[in-house]
Structure formats: C-alpha cells, structure tokens
C-alpha cells in the first residue's frame, strides 16, 4: 500500500474509533440531573388541595414517602370520620394511605428510614389533654403504645411530640407529669429491650418547667430537648437547650455563651443531626458567638465536638436586618434549612418568609419554596422533613398559588425536589 494511502486509512480508522468511543460514552453517561420542582403532598387523587389544612409534615430518611396530619376528608376514599388523621404518601407512585383510630384524632407523625413505621400522637376527639404516643406498623397494620412503663406520677396523658430513630428502635417523646413542678418530661422508649427511661432533668429549685421538642440521634445515644418555663415567658432567658448523653449520663447546656458569660435571652426549636454531631436551634441571645451585634433572632449550629456555635444569617438581609428561625438539619449535619424574611428595598417589614437550605460545607444557599410567579412563598420546614441526601425537603405553606383549587385557607404539604 502506498504510504499516503496507508496514512489516509489509519486516519479514517482513528476517526471511526473516536466516533464509536464518543457514542458509547454518551450511551453510558449519567443522565442529566432533573430540574428542581415542587409537588403537592396533601393532595386529592386529582392533584388538588385537600379540603382542610395540614398541621405537620415529615419525610422518610430514604426520601420515598412523606407523612402529614390533616382533618381533610377528600384525600382518600371513605374518609368520613371528620377527625385529624395521619396520611402517608408514596412520592413516586402518588398513592396516599390513611392511618386512623376510631374515636381518636392523630397528629405529629415521625417516620422510620423506609417509612414502614410511623410514630404519632393520638388523643380522644376534642381532648388533647389525654393524648398518648403510639407506633403504627404499615406492614402489619397494628398500633403499639410507646408511653408505657412510666414511673409513678405519669399516667401516659398529655403527650406533646415524638421523634423516631430510622430503625424504629428508639422513640423520644414528652408527656405530662400528673402533679409537681415538671409540666412536660422527656422520656426515651427502647423497643428492643422494652424499657423506658427519663431523659430530661428536673425543674431547678421547684420552678415550673417543661421539657419538650425532643429529638434523638440515630444510635439512640444522644437526645436534645428544650427546657422552658411551663407557663410561658418569665423574664428574657425563659428557655434553654439541653443534651443528654445516655452513654455517660452527662447533661450539657447547648445554648451556652462562647466566653462563659451569662446568657440573657431564650433559645427554642432544637434538633439533633442523625449522626449526633450537631445541634441546631434558634435564639435571641447575643452571647453565643463573639461580636454578636445582631438585633434579631438567629439560627445557630452547635458543634458537639468543639463546643462552638456558628451563627447563620439569611442571604436576604444581614446583621440587624432579617432574622433566621425554625431550623432543621439533615442526618449528616451538612444541610440546614431555615426561615428568613424577604424585604422590598426600603421596606421595614418582610413581605414573605420563605425557606432556604444551606450547605454548611460549601456555604451555598438555595431557595426551597419558590412560588409560581417567580417570587418566594412563605413556608416552614420541621425537624424530620429533610431526606438523607438533602435533595427532597417537605414543607408546609399556606400560599394558595402552589396548588389548584386551594380554598382551605391553611397550610398544605409539599415536597421540593432539588434535582
């Protein structure tokens, strides 16, 4: 073969090989990430808003199912009890299952990793003072009481909230003391050993205090809760955040100052990351980080290893301009959701209070609750409403533009797919 002909043949073969390689590479390339979108969760079979508002919403750790509580009667067929039930929605299939108990109203769900187990609060119709804590197994369709084997002085009534570990072994909840200075007390139920232990500390010096809003780490070792005056604010520092390490028995105040100074303002809405390394909460105190000259509420991230706090400002506003509140954190402690204000230029007050998610590793912040007009919708995200990978977040919003035929004049549940 002539040299020029041979070179041409080799070049053609190289081109063909390159084209083939590119074709094969494209065929095996990962699909492009889906565009972010919002979908209704508390919706009818036709995709419209339910006929009653939603009171709480969470998502399973694997991001496949969401649970919420509502008095709506048109979300599933045959719902005629006119009471608050808990609903579980398969987000991929779009199917909704109702969990109900005759004569009782259900609220405050917490999900296991795969959504099989649902911890919830139940109460006789019209009497939340007699509320208890139960676990529902969606596979066996059975209920199990969790607020059992309580010490003397606790009748298993007046339950407030419950938080379940991903494996459904541990549940932490608060329930009312019959008499005494402790209003609500936090307990942990170990379903494997069949034991119940008190977590929260007694009220100091007989002061009327309540322990509430407890969350538990995935391994059941650490529990975080708020400790507040039972009858509401008394002075400025009326609520603190505490952590109990069950392995050591040690009790630690989380919302402590950076330099040992006395704290002066309240801290609320704590929650613990699944890995047990970070606690998030909101506070008005100005001693938690150095040089805090902020005049508003802030979300703080407390690192349990270092004992230090990180203050989180919103992207719209800054020191003294706009608050951050209502935090929730992902299981690995990386992604944080919070509410902040949106303000028009020159406006003194916020026009909307949307939810954002911040990657604490990169600092990147993304709007979770865009509305349908190019703006942002006011919303809230609760602890337990962020999937493990942070790509699905369940929120509540009363924005009537997010769902068709939304006339219930209250919150509906949504899931934001971040792509």
Half-sphere exposure of 387 (CA within 13 A, CB side): 21
Q: Residue 43: its pLDDT value, please?
A: 97
Contact 223, 246 (CB under 8 A): yes
Contact 343, 334 (CB under 8 A): no
Tens of pLDDT, residue by residue over 247-280, are 999 999 999 999 988 888 999 999 999 999 999 9
Tens of pLDDT, residue by residue over 292-329, are 887 789 999 999 999 999 999 876 544 445 789 999 99
Tell me the C-alpha distance between 371 and 357, whole Å: 16
Q: Residue 20: its pLDDT value, please?
A: 44
Q: Residue 402: its pLDDT value, please?
A: 94
Written as one string, the DSSP assignment of 280-348 is EEEE--SSSSTT----S-EEEEEETTTTEEEEE--SS--TTT--EEEEEE-TTS-EEEEEE-B--TT-S
Q: Residue 233: its pLDDT value, please?
A: 59
3-state secondary structure of 98: strand
Query: Residue 180: enclosing H or E segment and its boundaries?
Result: none
Residues of the chain scoring pLDDT < 70:
1-33, 231-235, 315-321, 343-350
Tens of pLDDT, residue by residue over 123-165, are 998 887 899 999 999 999 999 999 999 999 999 999 999 999 9
pTM exceeds 0.85, yes or no: yes
């Amino acid at each position: 073969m002539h040299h020029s002909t041979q070179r041409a043949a080799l070049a053609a073969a190289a081109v063909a090989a390159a084209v083939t390689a590119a074709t094969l590479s494209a065929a095996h390339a990962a699909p492009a990430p889906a565009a972010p979108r919002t979908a209704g969760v508390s919706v009818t079979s036709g995709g419209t808003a339910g006929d009653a508002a939603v009171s709480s919403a969470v998502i399973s750790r694997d991001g496949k199912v969401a649970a919420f509580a509502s008095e709506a009667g048109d979300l599933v067929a045959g719902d005629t009890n006119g009471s608050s039930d808990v609903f579980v929605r398969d987000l991929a299939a779009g199917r909704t299952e109702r969990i109900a108990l005759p004569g009782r109203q259900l609220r405050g769900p917490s999900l296991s990793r795969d959504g099989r187990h649902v911890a919830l609060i139940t109460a006789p119709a019209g009497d939340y003072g007699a509320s208890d804590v139960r676990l529902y197994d969606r596979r066996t369709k059975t209920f199990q009481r969790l607020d059992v084997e309580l010490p003397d002085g606790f009748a298993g009534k007046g339950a407030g909230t419950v938080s379940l570990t991903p494996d459904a072994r541990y549940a932490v909840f608060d329930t009312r003391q019959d008499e005494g200075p402790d209003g609500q007390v936090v307990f942990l139920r170990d379903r494997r050993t069949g034991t119940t232990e008190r977590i929260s500390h007694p009220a100091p010096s007989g002061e009327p205090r309540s322990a509430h809003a407890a969350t538990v780490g995935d391994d059941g070792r650490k529990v975080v809760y708020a400790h507040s005056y039972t009858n509401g604010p008394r002075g400025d520092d009326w609520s603190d955040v505490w952590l109990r390490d069950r392995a050591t028995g040690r009790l630690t105040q989380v919302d402590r100052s950076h330099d040992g100074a006395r704290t002066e303002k309240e801290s609320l809405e704590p929650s613990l990351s699944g890995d047990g390394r970070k606690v998030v909460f909101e506070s008005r105190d100005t001693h938690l980080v150095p040089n805090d000259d902020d005049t508003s509420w802030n979300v703080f991230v407390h690192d349990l290893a270092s004992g230090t706090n990180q203050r989180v400002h919103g992207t719209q506003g800054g020191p003294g301009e706009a608050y951050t509140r209502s935090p929730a954190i992902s299981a690995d402690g990386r992604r944080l959701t919070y509410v902040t204000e949106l303000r028009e230029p020159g406006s003194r007050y916020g026009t909307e209070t949307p939810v954002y998610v911040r990657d604490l590793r990169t600092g990147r912040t993304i709007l979770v609750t865009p509305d349908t007009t190019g703006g942002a919708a006011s919303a809230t995200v609760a602890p337990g409403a962020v999937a493990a990978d942070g790509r699905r977040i369940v929120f509540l919003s009363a924005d009537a533009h997010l769902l068709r035929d939304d006339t219930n004049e209250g919150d509906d549940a949504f899931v934001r797919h971040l792509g």
